[in-house]
């Protein structure tokens, strides 16, 4: 139903956090964060963090990013919930995120009533700030750059049908490709496994022959 407590989206998320921490809220749901505002459009120092700087991901320094990117799943759903299009810039995302976080919860609940569950609605304030920080500070995407398409589908032409995409598809591609070192390591592991299996089979066969010979000797 529609709430009339006068809370903003930010305050509502914080209230849900409090309920979950004392055991009165919904169990098993994703945690929420208190987000006062979407980060200001300040250019971070590459010496501090971000693509091309000293930021490390699993021990590997992030390189300068080139080309365009497709943002799927939570990124695409958040942009859609904020009423933005596929070719949204980070500046537009920041403005829409601030407006969303400042809305009274009663207005948000009424706006999305009937086509979005409340437990998802409470997450978009945090998601807007998180996505902005991830792409702007983490990957050094400019606030007005149009390098990202927020969508869960992709088509190579206007006439071609849309192809559904998600993180599962990407994980499958990465796993199928593998890194050169990982592929080599797997190959060596398979060879060693075959050698061990052959040795065990040889030992078992030898033991069987000895057992059979012993049995025949007893019969004689």
Contact 131, 82 (CB under 8 A): no
Give pLDDT, residue 118: 82
DSSP SS3 for 105: helix
Contact 96, 84 (CB under 8 A): yes
Element (H, E) at 149: strand 148-150
> What is the C-alpha to C-alpha distance for residues 89 and 85, in angstroms, rounded to an integer?
9
Between helix 9-21 and helix 124-133 the angle, nearest 10°, is 100
Contact 1, 106 (CB under 8 A): no
* Chain length of the chain: 220
65's CB contacts (< 8 A; 6+ apart) are: 51, 52, 139, 140, 141
Q: What does DSSP say about strands 56-57 and 69-71: parallel, antiparallel, or unpaired? A: unpaired
Most distant CA atoms of the chain, gap in Å: 98
> What is the C-alpha to C-alpha distance for residues 43 and 196, in angstroms, rounded to an integer?
56
Give pLDDT, residue 175: 73
Using 70 as the pLDDT threshold, list the residues of the chain that sit under it. 1-59, 62, 156-157, 173-174, 177-220
Give pLDDT, residue 44: 46
> What is the C-alpha to C-alpha distance for residues 87 and 201, in angstroms, rounded to an integer?
61
User: Half-sphere exposure (CA, 13 Å, Cβ side) for 84?
Assistant: 26
Task: Residue 39: name the closest of 132, 123, 127, 124 by CA.
Answer: 132
Give pLDDT, residue 33: 41
Contact 138, 39 (CB under 8 A): no
Between helix 9-21 and helix 105-112 the angle, nearest 10°, is 90
């Amino acid at each position: 139903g529609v709430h009339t407590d006068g809370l903003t989206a930010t305050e509502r998320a914080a209230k849900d956090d409090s309920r979950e921490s004392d055991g009165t809220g919904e169990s098993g749901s994703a945690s929420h964060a208190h987000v006062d505002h979407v980060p200001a459009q300040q250019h971070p120092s590459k010496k501090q963090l971000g693509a091309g700087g000293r930021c490390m991901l699993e021990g590997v320094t992030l390189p300068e990013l080139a080309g365009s990117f497709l943002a799927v799943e939570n990124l695409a759903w958040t942009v859609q919930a904020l009423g933005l299009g596929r070719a949204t810039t980070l500046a537009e995302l920041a403005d829409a995120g601030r407006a969303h976080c400042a809305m009274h919860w009663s207005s948000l609940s009424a706006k999305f009533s009937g086509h979005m569950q409340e437990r998802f609605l409470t997450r978009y304030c945090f998601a807007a700030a998180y996505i902005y920080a991830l792409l702007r500070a983490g990957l050094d995407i400019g606030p007005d750059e149009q390098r990202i398409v927020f969508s869960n589908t992709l088509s190579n032409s206007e006439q071609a049908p849309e192809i559904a995409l998600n993180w599962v598809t990407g994980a499958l591609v990465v796993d199928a490709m593998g890194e050169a070192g990982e592929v080599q390591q797997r190959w060596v592991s398979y060879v060693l496994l075959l050698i061990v299996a052959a040795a065990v089979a040889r030992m078992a066969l030898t033991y069987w022959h000895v057992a059979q010979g012993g049995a025949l000797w007893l019969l004689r």
